Structure 1
Amino acid sequence: MNAQTRPSPTVFDVQRVRADFPLLSRTVHDKPLIYFDNANTSQKPLSVIEAVDQHYRLRNANVSRSVHLVGEEATAAYEGARDKLARFINATSRNEVILNSGTTQAMNMIAYSYALPRLKEGDSILTTVMEHHANIVPWQLVAGRTGATVKAAPIDERGELILEKYFEMLTPDVKLACVTHVSNVLGTVNPVREIARECRRRGIPLVVDGSQAVPHRPVDVQALGCDFYAFTGHKMLSPTGTGGLWARKELLEEMPPFFGGGEMIREVSFSGTTFAAPPHKFEAGTPNIAGFAGVGAAVDYYDSLGFDAIHAWEQQLLAYLTERLRDIPGLRLFGEAKEKEPVVSFLIEGAQATDLATLLDLQGVAVRSGHHCAHPLMQFYKVPATLRASLAFYNTREEVDAFITALLKVRKLLM
């Protein structure tokens, strides 16, 4: 079953779904928890928690090293997660999916294994103003070692990438292009297929940060046409310290290893070492085996709901939240793109984002305040920080109403 053919129920029963997430039933400061910090990390369903627990209870052994039954079971669970992720993003082959700790590790791997050996003085890497630091800093690090430069395509006030400018900046000096699929601050959905098409015309590989896309929409890397696609497990119902990188087979075969050690070799001697084939060439050392047992369970959970239902419900919530926020005097929204995922950033005139978040926490509401690892974006909007409410399919309209009530109360206290 690939990303485009997952089943979806005719009615999305959010209360039944919420029962699968233990943390959603807790209280904070004697108030029911309203968890609107999903772009930061998602909550985990019971099936994911149990998968991790069962690994340690029943099959705690290392992978790919033991011939005993427990070790074989651990390996099957770990490699099974790779199979599920390959189907989840519609990879051509399971061998194109590298298991790692998440997008940050993936971007650094691309930077040092792909970009560093190829860059020279006068070359450029193109990214955008709306990127997370994970899609900026690794490129700066390798550029600093090679004499290359990093340049950023602009966005407009609505938080949409100015495509014609991005395409104009795909000049011959650009050796790698980068873009986020969905902005972690604005919720903006970028037209990756169109960008990938223009990059292919110029022979420029495209790197996509999919961290905020994979939890909300079906992803088909073959249809997108990019060359690298990175994602993070803990934002998609999975344990922390998990994630993946998809890359075209021919690129992985050309790239040298990023880490060296056990499990990524064929043979080691002091006269030289030969490396394993991808993906294991890029997976040195003992991985987060239990975490990836959880990743497999998370993919199963998404499959059980279906992204048609997930996306429809989240879009309803996004529209409702945005409508309610517009009625609050003095509130400024950041990011009003035509196509968005359920992430809303805003400020209220006269109030600091951190103060708002702190007081909202006392009302039982968990939101994020700060620069969201996106300093250039904050600089574009000329603000030091924003308040961000990010939704997931297990949130409800009633929670939106309670959030708005709490926000109005907090606003009154700060005015």
Structure 2
Amino acid sequence: MDPSLPAVPLTRPTTDHRELEAVEQVLASGWLAGQGPRGTELEDAFARLTGRTHAVAVNNCTAGLHLSLAALGVGPGDEVLVADYTFPATAHAVLYCGATPRFADVRLDTGTVDVDRLAERITPRTRGIIGVDALGVPADWDALELLARGHGLFLLEDAACSVGGTFEGRPCGAFGDVAVFSLHARKGITSGEGGVVVTDDAGIADRVRSMSCFGQRSAYARQGEAKLAIPEFGDVGYNYKLSDVLAAIALVQLDKLDGFLARRRVLADRYADLLADVPGVEAPHSPGDREPTWQTYAVTVTEDVDRDATVLALRARGIGSQIGTYALHREPVYAAPADCPTSDLLFRRHLALPMYADLTDADQDRVVAAVREAVTSR
């Protein structure tokens, strides 16, 4: 790495004085805990963004997935079909409920679940399907909804990477019985950690909200009541609330979403042009019926390119790089081998390049030059 050049990270949150001012306002208000006024504002904003009736803010997307499955009644003896190419949190949430994840292969072009492969894996024990907007590319939600309805299964959208994306003109988060977003630092908008559950089912929303707060109504909801409201705990709940400090940051980020997405899409188009003549590297493609968020920009390298060595070579040049995501059936924790050759291929050949709203054209030029040097000197 040239010591005169700063590193180009894989990702970096984009913040300014507005996030700091929002935090100062929360500190001054005295309400820092979860399920407070800023959390309520954030929930309303996500309901509007997705066209959903209900939204519940939680402390991370994994918690949202867990609560959603629990609210849907998933438990021991059940099986849930899961898109194989995703971060393990998706399937971990199934294990948290005592159920078994069953993995289905994905499409080569989008990395999203192959609906035909899903249909082959339905058994009498199957309760539902978790589709994933892989790396910010929306899944085939029309076909997924049709499959789920036809078999009497619930459908959960893992929209961790896709806030602001669309499928056939509808916003990500609008699909299935329930959807869950992430506000992790690597996502399109962030509060460091956090998540939001959205649904049109009042029963699911009520159960998620209660279970995220130990199985009770929040202190914010109880304040101002004329009588002493002593909570009762009829079920085991969790402490999955999103603090108002983080909710305030997320609200500011949400106001910036359109600008963030516009810049990411310019960068994605520019990457495609710059990489067009780089041997052994194929830029990602998204079908015209969906608008990705480019949460991750993952190129596919050819078989003769050593992906892992290329990642290390880029890092040595000060360029952030990583795998795309995981082929879950490979992971020992699940002990669930499956026939998922496309997920295997993407796991071996996807290579993530720097992508964030503050990435400059000059830094992007430097990234592509480093990729060209790494793959041609192999």
Scaled to the shorter chain, the TM-score interval is 0.7 to 0.9
Aligned CA distance change for structure 1 residues 352 and 176 (closer, same or farther; 3 Å)? same
Q: Give the equivalent residue in structure 1 for 2:233.
A: 273
Q: Secondary structure at the match of 1:366?
A: coil
Alignment partners' CA distance in 2, 1:251 and 1:124: 19
1:295 deviates by: 0.8
Q: How do residues 324-343 of structure 1 correspond to structure 2 at under 5 angstroms?
A: 324-331=274-281, 333=282, 336-338=285-287, 341=292, 342=294, 343=297
Partner deviation per Cα, 1:363-409 (whole Å, 9 max, x = no partner): 44223x24634444786218657421253444454433221112233
1:90 to 19, 27, 51: 51
Kept in 1: contact 2:274–2:368 (CA 8 A) = yes
Q: 1:287 to 1:380 in 2, by over 3 A?
A: closer
Per the TM alignment, residue 329 of structure 1 is displaced from its structure 2 partner at its CA by 2.5
CA offset at residue 227 of structure 1?
1.0
Q: Report the more deviating stretch, 260-269 or 82-91.
A: 260-269
Q: Please give the per-residue CA displacement for 1:98-127, whole angstroms capped at 9, x wherever unaligned.
A: 1112211111223344344xx453x42111
CA distance in 2, matches of 1:140, 1:274: 23
Query: Kindly, what percent of the aligned residue pairs are identical?
Result: 13
Indicate if the aligned counterparts of 1:177 and 1:207 stay in contact, CA closer than 8 A: yes
- Cα distance in 2 between the residues matched to 1:398 and 1:114: 48
The AA in structure 1 aligned to 2:105 is P
Structure 1 residues 372 and 316 mapped into 2: Cα distance closer, same or farther (>3 Å)? same
1:233 aligned to which of 169, 180, 183: 183
TM-score computed with the length of structure 1 as normaliser = 0.69
Q: Which residue of structure 1 aligns with residue 154 of structure 2?
A: 205
Q: How does 1:290-309 map to 2 (within 5 A)?
A: 290-302=245-257, 305=259
Deviation, structure 1 residue 179 = 0.5
Letter in 1 for 2:50: I
Aligned to 1:365: 319
Gaps of 5+ in 2: 223-228, 330-339
What amino acid is the match of 1:405? A
C-alpha contact (below 8 Å) 1:209/1:230 kept by paired residues: yes
Aligned residue runs from structure 1 range 1-400, under 5 A: 29-35=3-9, 37-38=10-11, 42-55=12-25, 58-63=28-33, 75-92=36-53, 96-116=54-74, 119=75, 121=77, 123-142=78-97, 145=98, 149-158=100-109, 159=111, 161-170=113-122, 172-180=124-132, 182-184=133-135, 188-217=137-166, 224-234=174-184, 235-247=187-199, 248-253=201-206, 257=211, 260=214, 264=218, 268=230, 273=233, 284=239, 287-302=242-257, 305=259, 310-311=261-262, 314-331=264-281, 333=282, 336-338=285-287, 341=292, 342=294, 343-347=297-301, 352-367=306-321, 369-370=322-323, 372-376=325-329, 380-381=344-345, 386-389=350-353, 391-400=355-364
Deviation at 1:177, TM superposition (A): 0.9
Secondary structure of 2:278's aligned partner: coil
Change (3 A) 1:261 1:382: closer
Structure 1 unmatched runs, 5+: 1-27, 65-73, 276-280
In structure 1, distance between residues paired with 2:190 and 2:108: 34
1:200 to 1:172, Cα distance in 2 relative to 1, 3 A? same
79 and 326 in structure 1: CA distance in 2 versus 1, 3 angstrom threshold:
same
CA shift, 1:335, in A, is 5.7
Q: Distance in 1 between matches of 2:162 and 2:371?
A: 27
Equivalent residue number for residue 13 of structure 1:
none
Are 1:402 and 2:366 matched, yes or no? yes
Which digits, 9 at most, give the CA deviation of each residue in 1:58-95, with x for residues without a partner? 3343458xxxxxxxxx9433322222222222222xxx
Tell me the amino acid that sits aligned with residue 113 of structure 2: L
Shift in Å at residue 178 of structure 1? Answer: 0.6
- In the alignment, is the contact (CA less than 8 A) between 1:207 and 1:226 conserved in 2? yes
* C-alpha contact (below 8 Å) 1:31/1:363 kept by paired residues: no
Distance 1:82 1:253, change over 3 A: closer
**Counterpart amino acid of residue 273 in structure 1:** F
> What is the CA distance between 1:231 and its match in structure 2?
0.7
The amino acid across from 1:228 in the alignment is V
RMSD: 3.9
- Once residues 72 and 106 of structure 2 are traced to their aligned partners in structure 1, the CA distance between those partners, rounded to angstroms, is 27
Q: CA deviation at 1:292?
A: 0.8
Is the 1:231–1:245 Cα contact (8 Å) retained in structure 2? yes
- Decide whether aligned partners of structure 1 residues 162 and 241 sit closer, same or farther in structure 2, where only a CA change above 3 A counts: closer
Letter in 1 for 2:143: E
Q: How many residue pairs get matched?
A: 348
Change (3 A) 1:396 1:299: same
Distance 1:411 1:162, change over 3 A: closer
Q: 1:131 to 1:372 in 2, by over 3 A?
A: closer
Distance 1:222 1:404 in 2: 30
User: Secondary structure at 1:34's aligned position in 2?
Assistant: coil
Query: Following TM superposition, by how much is the alpha carbon of 1:175 offset from its aligned partner in structure 2, in angstroms?
Result: 1.0
**1:296 Cα offset (Å):** 1.1
Q: Please give the alpha-carbon distance, in whole angstroms, between the structure 2 residues aligned to 1:191 and 1:393.
A: 27
Contact 2:127 2:154 in 1 (8 A): yes
Displacement after TM superposition at 1:258 (Å): 5.4
Q: Is the 8 A contact 1:178 1:206 kept in 2?
A: yes
Preserved contact between residue 103 and residue 231 of structure 1 (Cα < 8 Å): yes
d(CA) in 2 for partners of 1:104 and 1:113?
Answer: 14
Following TM superposition, by how much is the alpha carbon of 1:195 offset from its aligned partner in structure 2, in angstroms?
Answer: 1.3
Alignment partners' CA distance in 2, 1:213 and 1:191: 13
Alpha-carbon distance in 2 for matches of 1:289, 1:316: 33
